[in-house]
A and B are shown apart, each in its own frame.
Chain A
Amino acid sequence: MVRCFLIHTVCPVGAVAAGDSRVLYSRVFGPDEVMMSELSPEERRLLQKEKTAVVARHVRSAVSLFREASGQPLVEMVPGEEALALQEADSGVVRLRAGDPFSEEMSALWLGVQSLGFALVCEPHENLLLAEGTLRNLTRHCLDHLHMLGPGSEVLLRSNRIDALLSRLLPHGQLLFLNHRFAQSLEKEVAAYMAK
C-alpha cells in the first residue's frame, strides 16, 4: 500500500525558511494511523499534516544532497517540455525510520522535477519497481494537466484534478499492475474528467 502522495517544493521559496519545503498537495490514503488514540479530531488532523511536512522535509534534503553530489547544473525547462523534464528528473528513495514520522518503517520514493518534488510513501515490502513506474506516470499527468512547469497556481486551485487522477491510477493507495492497454483506458477516463 502507498501511504501518501505528496507534491512539494525542493528549492528555496520566498516565504519558507531555508531548508524547509512547502507542501503543494498531499493525500494520505486510508484511515489515520492514530485512529485508536485519544487525540481529538483537530489534533489528529494537525498530526497528519505535520507528518506530511516531515516527509516533505526529508525528501527535500534528499533531493538537494543528490543534486549537489551529482554536480550537474539544473537546466531550466519551460512549458511544453514536460516529457523532457520528466526524463531528466532525478529520482531516489529515502528510508523513513519507524517513528519518523510513521509508526512503522516506510520507503519514500521521490522524483525531483525542476523545483518540484513528487513523493510516494510506500510500505517497505511494496514492489518498488511498480511504485517507481506509478510515480512517473502520476508525475507525467500532473505536469501535463496542471501546467506545473509554467507560472501559475493551478496545482493549488485545481487540486481536484489530482484527486481524480489518484482515484484511478492509485485507488486508495493501491499500486496497480497496468499494462499499456489498461493504462490507456484509465487515461481516457482521466482525459474526459480534465476536459469537463
Chain B
Amino acid sequence: MCTFQTDDSFTPSCLYSVQLSPESAFLSPLQPLFPCFSLTSHSLSVALSDGMLKHKELQLPIHQCHPSISVPNPFFTTPLPLSTVAIHFRLPPELQKRLVSLLSSPVEQLQVLSSAVLRETLPLSGQELNYNQENIGQLNSHAAALLLSQAGSRADLSSLCAQLLRSLESRQSEGPAHCLTHTLPILNTVLTHSPESLTEDHVTLLSKKLVDWLRYASITQGVGASSGGFFTGPRSRQPAPIAELDGTVSGDFFTVLCVGQGFTDDQWMNVYSFSMLRHWLLTYHSVSNGNTTADTANRLQLSLSLSHSHSFSYDDRSEVDGSVVSMVSATSSSSRLLPPKERLREKAFQYCQRLIEQSDRKAHKKTDTDLQKACLVEAVCILDCVCVEDTSLVFRTFPCIKGLFGRLSSDLSFARVLLPIAQFYLNHGEMAAVDCESVWNLVFGRFPAELFNDHFLAHELLRFLRLNLESLQLRVPQYTHSFPNLLKLLAWDSPALVDDFVDLLPSLVTTGTAVELLHTLLDLPCLSATLVLQLRSVCLPIADPGGRGLLSLDAFRNPSFRGLFLFLLRTEAGSGDTIDRLSTLHELLAEAADWPRVVQCAQTVPVLLHIFFNTVITVADEKLLAHLILVMLERSSLLLNIPKYCREIHRVFSCHLLRLCKLHPSLVVDQSHELLEFAGATANVYSKEEIYTHVVWVLGEYLSVSCDSRCSVSLITSCFEALEAVLFEITSSAPAPGAVCAAPRVITTLMSALAKLASRSHDLIPRVSLFLSKLRTVTRGGSVAWCSDEDDLVAIVTRGEELWSLLKAPGVAQSVLTPPPHVTTPQWHRDINVAMPLRLRALTNLTHSQ
C-alpha cells in the first residue's frame, strides 16, 4: 500500500514525498524497511527507516555516477546514484503516474526533472508511457526525449512518427511553431535507429516539407525573440531584410549562413532542415515499402482517434488513393514539376551552391568562420550524395567543386574541407573525365607531411582511406607508394591511430613495397622522434636555451646528417629500401628512447609487424621471403635502442621466421649461409637469445635431404661444426664479467640440433656422444660456471642423457629426430598402419619438449 503526501503547490523544493508500507517495499523481506521518497529540484531522496526508527536518508542525484555497483547497500551514507538503485526497483506506480503528469507542466524545470527521473528508472511493465495523441502538438522536447528513450518496439516509433508528421502538417494554421522545432530531430533519430518505422508516404511528405523550409524560408528578419505577444503586430513595422555574415544585405534565399536581429519560425526550421538534410538524403532509401499494411492499420487507428479533434483532409485522401495522391497534393504555392524526392535533390543542390558561395564572405565572428568551414564540408558531402543518386547532376556540380578546390587547395587550414572534395573527385572524377592528380598530391603528399599533428585530420583521412580502399587501389596508383608519408600520422599519434592502420596495412603490402615497408615499420620509432625534432626545430629558434642540451636536435640541424633525416621524412617509397648509415642515425636518436611519444610508437610496431608478415606470406614468392629472412637477421641488431622494443621485435621475428620456414622448408637450405653465419656468432647467444634459439632450431629441423634435395652432407657437417663450436664455447667457460649466463633453452636447443644433424649423417654421432658424455662428467661436481641455477643444470644434463641414449641406436634416432614428413601431417593419426611412427613422434615430443 502506498500513501502519498502530495505537495500541491508544486514548488521545486519538494515535489512529492511517498511513504511505502512494508508490503510494497522493494528490499528483501528480511529487511523490513520503510522507504520514503522525496523529489526535490535536483535530486530524489529516499529515506529509509529500519524499524528501529533509525532514519537514514539517501540523496540520489538524478544522474548516475557509478554504474558498476551491482548490489546497493541501503545503508550507504554517501550519495548513492539513482541508477544503481533503479536496477533493483521501480518507482511506485502512483509516483510514476504523477511524474508523467508533471511532464506537461508549464514549468520547464519540472519537465526536465520528471523526464530525467523517468528516464533513469524503469518503465512500468505493461503500462508504457501513453502519450495522448491529441496533444502531440504540445509534446515538449523533454517528454519527447523520454518517449524515444523508452520506446519498446518499432510499432511505438512508427506511430510516434505518424503523429509527429501530422502535427507538422497542421502546424501552419495553429500553435507556436517553435515547440515543433524538435520534431525534425526526433524524426531524424527514428530514421537513424529504425528507418523501417517510416513509410514511403512519410518520406514523400517530409521531403516536401524540407523543400519548403530549405528554399522558401522568409527573407526578412523575424522580430526579436524576447519581444513576444503584445507589441508584435505583424505589420506594425517594416521588417528588415536578412543579412549575410559580412553584413551586406542578402540578395537570395535564406540559409544557415544568414543573420538577422531575430528569426522567424520558418527560418528556424530552415536551420533544422539543413542540419538533418544529409542524413535524410543518405537514408531515406532504407525506408521500407514493405510495411504498408502495418502502416495502413496504424493510420486507420490514428485517424479514428484523431477524427474528433482535427480533420486531415490530406490524410483522408491518401487513405483512399494510396501514396500517389500525396505527390499531387500541394501544400506550397510553388509549381511542382518534379516528384518530391527529385525536387528535394534539386533544392538541396541549389542550397549547397549558395552555401559555397556564401562561405567566401568574410565573417565578423570566429564562430561564424568555423561554421562556414563546417557548412562547406556539409555542402560538398550533400552535393556528393545527390550526384551519387542522380548522375546527371555531376556535370552541373563539377565546375563549382573545381572552383572550390582551386580556391582552397593552397590553404592547408582548409584541409578538412578538402577531404570531402577529394571524396567527390574519387566518386565522380572518372565520369566527368577530370584530372585528379593535384587532389591526390595534396591528400597523399602535403596532408600527412605537413599536418601529421592534426589529430582530427588524421582520423578523417584514415577513415577516408578505409572507406574507399578498393577504388583507391584501383584508381590511385600513388596510394601504395605513399606509405612512408601515411605512417607519419601513426608515428605522431600511435595510440589513437593504430586501429586504423591495423585495417589499412594489408593494402600497403605488395611484392614491390614489402621490403621497404618492413624497414620503415622497424624505423617507426625513429620517425616519431624525427617528427618531434622537426616540430621543435621550427618552434624553437636555434639560440633558444630550451633547445640546448638536445643532442638529437643539433644533429637534426647539422647538414652532414641531413640526408639521414630526410630519408626518414621521405614522402614516397621507391628511393631505396633503407640506408647504410642506419646505426649512425640510431646513435643520434639515442636520447629519444625514453620520450613518451617514441615509446608509445614503439609499442605499436610489433602489432603491425605481425599483420605485415601475415599478409606478406599471401602475396610473396619464395625469393621475396628469402629476402625478408635476410632483413630479419640483419635488422635484429639494427634497432633504435629501446630494450623492451628490441625484445618485442626479436620475439615477432622469431615467431615469423619459424612460420616462414615451416611453410617453405627449402628456404633454410637457400639461406643456409646467412643463417649459419648468424648461428655461428657466439655473441648472438647473449644479445639475441630469442631469435638465436629459433634460428638454431630451424637449422636443426629443416637442414635435411627430406626438406630439400640440395642439402648435402658437407652442408650438414659445416652446420654441425658451427653449432658445435658455439655450444662448446658457451659450456666451457664462464660468461664475460657483467654478462649473464647463456639461457638453458639455448643450450638444450643447440644440443637437440646437433643430435638431429648427427642422426642424418651418422659420422657425426661419435662427436655428439663424446660431447654429451663429457657434459655429464663435468657436471657431476654439482655446479659449473656457465649455468648458475641448479635446476636448469639438471634439466640440461637430463636432456643430454636422453639424446645420448637415443643416438646409441642410430636407426631409431633418425626416425625419432627426423621423422619423415608424412608422419607429421595430421591425417595419419587415424591410420593404424603408421602407429609406429606416431608412437615415435610422441616419444619425440617427450624427449624433446620445446
Give me the interface of A with B, judged by CB distance under 8 Å: 1, 16, 22-26, 28-33, 35-36, 41-42, 45-46, 49-50, 52-53, 61-62, 65-66, 68-69, 71, 91-95, 97, 107, 123-125, 127-130, 132-133, 153, 156-160, 163-164, 167, 171-183, 185, 188, 193, 196
Contact = CB atoms under 8 A, between A and B. Distances in A.
A49 B81 CA distance: 12
Contacts of B141: 167, 171-172
Given A93-B496, A172-B145, A176-B275, A133 B66 contact: no
26 contacts: A25-B63, A26-B63, A31-B148, A31-B149, A31-B194, A35-B154, A41-B122, A61-B495, A65-B495, A65-B496, A69-B493, A107-B459, A107-B463, A123-B192, A127-B278, A129-B374, A130-B374, A133-B367, A157-B42, A163-B112, A164-B108, A177-B274, A179-B245, A179-B258, A179-B371, A185-B262
Contact of B367 (A16, A30, A93, A183): A183
Given A23-B66, A160-B42, A174 B275 contact: yes
B257 interface: yes
Given A32-B149, A127-B378, 15 more contacts: A24-B65, A45-B83, A62-B496, A95-B459, A95-B500, A127-B374, A127-B381, A129-B456, A157-B43, A160-B112, A167-B145, A172-B145, A174-B276, A178-B371, A179-B256
A133 B456 CA distance: 13
Given A163-B116, A174-B184, A52 B61 contact: no
B622 interface: no
Nearest to B355: A177
A133 B113 CA distance: 27
B377 A129 contact: yes
B188 A36 contact: no
Contacts of B36: none
Contacts, number: 227
Interface string B518-539: 0000000000000000000000
A49 B157 contact: no
B247 interface: no
B282 interface: yes
A8 to B, nearest CB: 9
Contact of B225 (A97, A159, A188): A188
B263 A181 contact: yes
B467 to A, nearest CB: 9
B87 interface: yes
Contact of A159 (B63, B144, B190, B378): B63
Nearest to B261: A181
B42 A1 contact: no
A159 B62 contact: yes
Contact of B496 (A1, A92, A125): A92
Contacts of B368: 179-180
A136 B87 CA distance: 33
Interface string B45-68: 000000000000000011111111
A147 B318 CA distance: 54
A18 to B, nearest CB: 15
Contacts of A163: 112, 115-116, 142
B185 interface: yes
Contacts of B827: none
B416 A23 contact: no
Contacts of A179: 245, 256-259, 367-368, 371
B429 to A, nearest CB: 21
Contacts of B278: 127
Nearest to B12: A196
Interface string B753-794: 000000000000000000000000000000000000000000
A193 B108 contact: yes
Given A92-B455, A167-B142, A160 B148 contact: no
B339 interface: no
Interface string B79-97: 1000100110000000000
Given A30-B189, A133-B370, A177-B371, A46 B499 contact: no
A26 B83 CA distance: 11
A171 B145 CA distance: 9
A185 B181 CA distance: 14
Given A25-B63, A196-B109, A132 B456 contact: yes
B309 to A, nearest CB: 26
B123 interface: yes
B42 A159 contact: yes
A164 B250 CA distance: 33
Given A68-B596, A180-B368, A174 B378 contact: no
Contacts of B153: 35-36
Contacts of A107: 459, 463
Contacts of B63: 24-26, 156, 159
Contact of B193 (A33, A53, A182): A33
B600 interface: yes
A175 to B, nearest CB: 6
Contacts of B342: none
Contacts of A183: 367
A75 B296 CA distance: 62
A23 B65 contact: yes
B373 interface: yes
CB-CB nearest 8 A-B residue pairs: A49-B67, A174-B185, A172-B185, A156-B61, A130-B374, A30-B189, A177-B256, A159-B63
Contact of B596 (A24, A41, A69, A124): A69
A93 B307 CA distance: 50
Interface string B181-206: 11011101110111000000000000
Given A129-B373, A179-B368, A93 B459 contact: yes
A35 B596 contact: no
A1 B192 contact: yes
Contacts of B83: 45, 49
B185 A160 contact: no
A61 B496 CA distance: 10
B151 interface: yes
Contact of A22 (B65, B367, B375): B65
A93 B274 contact: no
B108 to A, nearest CB: 6
Contacts of A196: 108-109
Instruction: Find the residue from B189, B245, B276 having the highest chain A CB count within 10 A.
Output: B189
A80 B42 CA distance: 24
Given A45-B122, A160-B113, A167-B141, A176 B272 contact: yes
A158 B40 CA distance: 11
B189 A177 contact: no
Nearest to A50: B67
A123 B283 CA distance: 13
A99 B259 CA distance: 42
Contact of B282 (A125, A130, A185): A125
B186 to A, nearest CB: 5
Contact of B188 (A41, A71, A160, A174): A174
Nearest to A130: B374
A185 B225 contact: yes
Nearest to B121: A45
Instruction: Find the residue from B68, B142, B268 having the highest chain A CB count within 10 A.
Output: B68
B152 interface: yes
Interface string B355-382: 0000000000101101101110110010
Nearest to A9: B65
B597 to A, nearest CB: 4
A175 B272 CA distance: 9
B271 interface: yes
B66 A22 contact: yes
A13 B6 CA distance: 39
B226 interface: yes
Nearest to A61: B495
Nearest to A100: B499
Nearest to B84: A49
Given A23-B65, A160-B113, A69 B600 contact: yes
A19 B143 CA distance: 37
Contacts of A123: 192
A174 B145 contact: no
